[in-house]
Amino acid sequence: MLDWRGEFKRLEGAYAPSTLHSYHSDVEIFVRWCADARHEAFPASVATVCAFLEAQAPLHAASTVRRRLYAVRKVHRLLRLPDPTWDEDINLTFRRIRRAKLGRPRQAKGMTRDYLEKFLAVQPQDPWGLRNRAMLSLGYDLLTRRSELVALRTDEIEWRADGTLRVLIRRSKADPFGLGRVAFTSAGTGRFVADWLAWRGDAICLLFCPIYQGKALNRTLSATTVKRLIKTAAKSAGLDAADIADFSGHSMRVGAAQDLLKAGHGTAAIMRAGGWKSLNVLTRYLENAEYNVWG
C-alpha cells in the first residue's frame, strides 16, 4: 500500500483544516471499501471507482458522494498515479446517482431578527451570557459562517464614532488566500462586544474564547460551539423540538440574508454583505424568506 497519508501532509496550509479532515476521512472510507471488496485502491481502475460511488449512493447525499470522488482524485494526483476519475464512465455513473436522488437540499432554519431577539433575551447574566450575546449579535450582523465567527481576532474589529464596528473577516471558506471582506455592525452589537471585552480583558488575541471556571482561556473556540449556542438558545426560548432541530451553525447567515431581502435590499447588496460569490447559493438561502413580491 502506498503511503497516501504521508502524501496528504503536502496539502497542509493549502486547504482549510475542515477540507483536509473531510478528504482524509473520505479516502479512509475508500481504502476500507477497496479492501473489503478486494479491489486495488492505488491506482484504482475506472471500474473500481464506479463501483465505489454506486456503493456510497444509497447511504449518502449526492454532494457527499461527489466529495468522496474528489478525494479519490486528489490522492491519485498526490501519489502521481494515473487518475481514473476523469473517465466518461465516472461522469455517467455520477449523473445516474444524481438523477436517482432527486430532492431539495435541506436548508438550515434562518435565525431572523425575531429569533435573534428571543435568543439574546434568554442568555444568562454571567460571563457566558456576555460572550453568547456578543457572538449571536455579531454573527447575525456580519452574516458569518460559524468558522469565520470563531476565527475573528480582536485586532480585526475597529470601533467607529457612532458605536458601530467595522470588521475585517479574513478567514473564510470562500476566501482561501485571506484577502478578506469588510462588514459593519449595529450599535447594539457594538455594546454587546464591548461588554464582553471588558470582562474578557486584553491578554487574548482571539475575539471569542472558551471560559473555564469563570476565567477566559487563551484558546480557540470550536466551530461546533456556534451550533450548540444557537440550539441551546432556541431550547431556552421555548421553541418546539422540530424548530430546534432545524437550526444549525449556519442559521445566523441564513436568517440575516432573509431579513435583508425582506427589507428591500437587492441581491448584489446581499451578496456583498455576506461575501457570496455564487448567486445560486444565495438563492437557496433566500428561498424560505417570507417575502411578498406584490407588496
> Over the stretch 20-69, which tens digit does the pLDDT of each residue have?
888 999 999 999 999 999 999 999 999 999 999 999 999 888 889 999 99
Local structure of residue 155 (DSSP, 8 states): G
Mean pLDDT (whole number) for 200-219: 93
Q: Which residues contact 63 (CB under 8 A, 6 or more apart)?
A: 105
Q: Mean pLDDT, to the nearest integer, of 220-236?
A: 94
Residues 6+ apart with CB under 8 A from 196: 130, 131, 133, 134, 208
Rounded distance between C-alpha atoms, residue 38 and residue 35, angstroms = 5
Question: In this structure, what are the phi and psi dihedrals at residue 291, rounded to the nearest 5 degrees?
Answer: -130, 120
| 231 or 289: which leads in pLDDT | 231
Distances from the Cα of 127 to the Cαs of 46, 82, 99, 212, in angstroms?
56, 56, 50, 10
pLDDT at position 262, please? 87
Domain spans in the chain, listed from the N-terminal domain onward = 4-100, 113-286
Fold of 113-286: hpI Integrase; Chain A (1.10.443)
Beta pairing class for 157-159 and 165-169: antiparallel
pLDDT digits (tens, 9 = 90+) for 250-273: 899 999 999 998 888 888 888 888
Digit-coded pLDDT (tens) for 108-152: 889 999 999 999 999 999 999 999 999 999 999 999 999 899 999
Average pLDDT over the chain, rounded to an integer: 89
Q: Pick 24 or 17 by higher pLDDT.
A: 24
- Give the per-residue pLDDT at 120: 97
Give me the pLDDT at residue 292, please.
43
pLDDT score at 16: 75
Question: What residue type is 18 in one-letter code?
Answer: S
Domains 4-100 and 113-286 share a fold: no
Asked if residue 174 has pLDDT above 60, the reply is no
Find out whether the peptide bond into 84 is cis, omega within 30 degrees of 0.
Answer: no
Query: Count of CB atoms within 10 A of residue 12's CB?
Result: 9
Q: Residue 290: is its pLDDT beyond 60?
A: no
**What CATH number belongs to 4-100?**
1.10.150.130
Whats the size of the chain, residue-wise?
295
In one-letter notation, the amino acid at residue 263 is: A
Rounded Cα gap, residues 14 and 119, in angstroms: 37
Question: What amino acid is encoded at 35 in this protein?
Answer: A
Could you write out the DSSP letters of every residue in 45-96? Answer: PHHHHHHHHHHHTTTS-HHHHHHHHHHHHHHHHHTT---GGGSHHHHHHHHH
Backbone angles phi and psi of 159, in degrees to 5: -80, 135
Which residue stretches of the chain are H helix?
4-8, 17-37, 46-56, 62-78, 88-100, 113-121, 127-142, 146-151, 187-200, 224-236, 241-246, 251-262, 267-274, 279-286
State yes or no: pLDDT of 242 exceeds 50.
yes
pLDDT at 179 > cutoff 90: no
Q: Per-residue confidence at 165, pLDDT binned at 50, 70, 90?
A: very high
**pLDDT level of residue 294 (50, 70, 90 thresholds):** very low
- pLDDT confidence band for 102 (50 / 70 / 90): low
